[in-house]
A and B are shown apart, each in its own frame.
Chain A
Amino acid sequence: MLRSAWFRWIAVISALFVVVVVAFKFSLEKKTTIKAVDSCVVCHSNIKTIGKSHPISVFGCATCHGGNRYATDKNVAHKGMVKNPARLEYASKYCAKCHSDVIDRVEKSIMATNKGIIGVLNKKYLGIDSYPSIEEIKELKTDNLTVNYFRKMCAACHINQLQSIFSKQKVRGGGCVDCHGAKEKNNPHTILTTRIPSSNCLKCHNRSNRIGLAYFGQFQSAGYGTPYKHGEFSHVIKGGGRYYLKLHADIHWQKAHLECIDCHTEHGIMGDGYEHKRFEDQVVIQCEDCHSPQFGKPNELAKLLAQTNAKIPLRDGLEIAYTHKDFRPIYNLQKDKNGKILFYRKLDGKPMEMKLMSNKPYHTLDIHKKLSCQACHSEWMPSCYGCHVANFKNKKQFDWLLHKPTKGAFREFSSFNRFSHPTLGVGWKGKIMPFAPGCQSFVTVYSNGIKPEKQFYRLFFASWDPHTTQLKSRSCTDCHFNPTTLGLGRGSLHIKDNKIIFSPVYNSRLSGLPIDFPLDAFVNIEGKQLQGVSIKTERAFNKKEINSIVSAYSCILCHGSYSDKVYKDFKKSKRLFLEGKTPCSK
């Protein structure tokens, strides 16, 4: 057989066949030579950059997205791939290859856990002191009022929210990219950046205490989008359905165009590794950190941050500011050898001269040492009075954690919105802080039909920095003889026979509310606190404090300005007054 011709021909034909196949493969092979780090870019060639810190030429795609970096076949390459590796559950695997310390902190930070919101709701609705995180209530089967309300009304905003459930303009969530992602024209991929634009913060921070709106001078009105422009509503808040009035923006925005991240530090935003209960515990920055700063040599973190920012120079021999709380670096506030203090904007690196807190009498005076900066320098505070929550047990509403409609729907309506000089009270640090309703819930639970199953109300006030800082503080009268500021609510204040008399404007009973005091009254004239607070140490003014504040008004009538002589040496003036040696004491 070996010598027979047909066998030889078979051998030759098979040899030629191999030659043909090899030649064919050869012609295919020439077309697909890959010169990149991974073969993903063969198809995804439209993605040119994802930000300077993560060049595709070095990282490729698979380092972050997983999948098979060598495969050119779509199905094989995409196996095990993650579309958004920045979501926290993936970030601990992909981003954490380099940023492990940050990922650990972010997972425990307030914006990922939402502990504050859930905790305050717990306290209000159930009267218990418990601050679980989102991850913990996700597992919870028992749908009590707190959890249900949170799932339906609040859970849309947390950094690990699923991006795909939003329409394109309203995207929130997505883990790290919720803040660190920026969109660029003609680039399908999100740009990763540490120069975070404020619009990223505003995606969420335009509700509740509305810091994001107030800082830019927007007050959410109950209004109607007037005046109409070109036959349409004007003054529309991004996201639609709500309208604003234009008030004074924060001085930091008006004058210097500072973005959110110019003040808010890395640790304040991403946490320090502890699971804080409330944002107050996590936020690091305070007014005095910049306006009466403490300086030190830049530490490693400061150098790293300045390097990733890439716009702010951090030269040798400079000193940078450190926060008073926790001693965190503020690398964009720098003091050079001559003692010149410069503040750099993080987005564009533009330097500005820092104005320190002056030591004029109004700042140094002993009687005002209990005041926080916000108490005087906040011009207005958005206050939303009365939150009427209707809970329909049998109706369905979209659950933001399960991402599908589930039983138990909620509707909310307010009584009225006001902007005004903030009401004051004693804040959680023991200093006088601005207060506003937060929140005054009137809850009605319906199970079947229009007959309510249960009705109850919980009225709370809360303190925060309204982010409406102005250079000029409020006037003396504005605190010392203004019932709203004192916490009494709107109305008229008289002094009759050495007694303070207050008659309120708002009447809750006539408005159909089941309470005996006006909605805007934090405290009554007897010094009895009428509404609750969610932090134990916070409270309204007591009777003694109200009396002493109002009694100073009689002096302010004449000595209404700090340029007045009595303030030059106030101690001495007071002593002389008490000893009866001044014209007033007679």
Chain B
Amino acid sequence: MDRRDFLGKALAYLPALSIVALAFPFYYFLSFLYGKKRIEIPLNKIDKGIVFFKDYGIFILKTSKGYEVFDAHCTHMGCIVNYNNEKKLFECPCHGSVFNLKGERLKGPAKKPLNRLTFKLVNNNLIIG
């Protein structure tokens, strides 16, 4: 391939750059939409011992020592676990994993304990992420 040929090929394909250039904004656009979100929850919304926030898929436990936040997604296949008020356990409705209130795995296909989320308390708000 000589220089002339190469230039010709380049001229033919370079216009595609314009479409490729749009890929970056597109990526940032989507990553903002579906990326990690900062969650703020006013403390007075946590009125019971265990509160489930549907919008964020998290459980917040109010204990004597303070608060604990768990990701409600099961560590097996990511279903949202249910809280069983009688047994005081988290149960996964999909494949039957069971976790206790500390998030530890008791049985089932899941291998890891529930994800514990870090948070801080600012101005009567619980802030995650």
Contacts and interface: CB of A to CB of B under 8 A. Distances in A.
| A and B are partners in one complex rather than unrelated chains | yes
Interface of A: 5, 8-9, 11-12, 14-16, 18-19, 22-23, 25-26, 29, 35, 49, 52, 55, 57-58
Contact of B21 (A8, A19, A49, A57): A19
A15 B14 contact: yes
B123 A57 contact: yes
Interface of B: 11-12, 14-18, 21-22, 24-25, 28, 38, 40, 42, 122-125, 127
Most buried by B among A5, A9, A11, A23: A11
B25 A15 contact: no
Contacts of B42: 55, 58
B24 A8 contact: no
23 contacts: A9-B11, A11-B11, A11-B14, A12-B14, A12-B15, A15-B14, A15-B16, A15-B18, A16-B17, A19-B17, A19-B21, A22-B21, A22-B24, A25-B25, A26-B24, A29-B28, A35-B38, A52-B123, A55-B42, A55-B124, A57-B123, A57-B127, A58-B125
Contacts of A22: 21-22, 24-25
Contacts, number: 53
Contacts of A23: 21
Contact of A58 (B14, B18, B24, B40): B40
Nearest to A12: B14
A107 to B, nearest CB: 28
B65 to A, nearest CB: 22
The 10 closest A-B pairs by CB, nearest first: A15-B18, A18-B18, A11-B15, A8-B11, A19-B21, A15-B17, A12-B14, A15-B15, A22-B21, A18-B21
A57 B125 contact: yes
Given A15-B17, A19-B18, A55-B124, 5 more contacts: A15-B14, A15-B15, A16-B17, A23-B21, A49-B123
A556 B10 CA distance: 120
Contacts of B25: 22, 25-26
B7 to A, nearest CB: 9
A26 B28 CA distance: 9
A311 B112 CA distance: 44
Contacts of B17: 15-16, 18-19
B37 to A, nearest CB: 10
A16 B19 CA distance: 11
A358 B128 CA distance: 57
A347 to B, nearest CB: 20
A55 B41 CA distance: 11
Contacts of B14: 11-12, 15-16
A23 B20 CA distance: 12
A57 B124 CA distance: 10
A57 B121 CA distance: 12
A438 to B, nearest CB: 46
Contacts of A52: 123-124
Given A22-B21, A52-B124, A57 B15 contact: no
A57 B128 CA distance: 13
B38 A14 contact: no
Most buried by B among A18, A23, A35, A49: A18
Contacts of B24: 22, 26
Nearest to A11: B15
Nearest to B10: A12
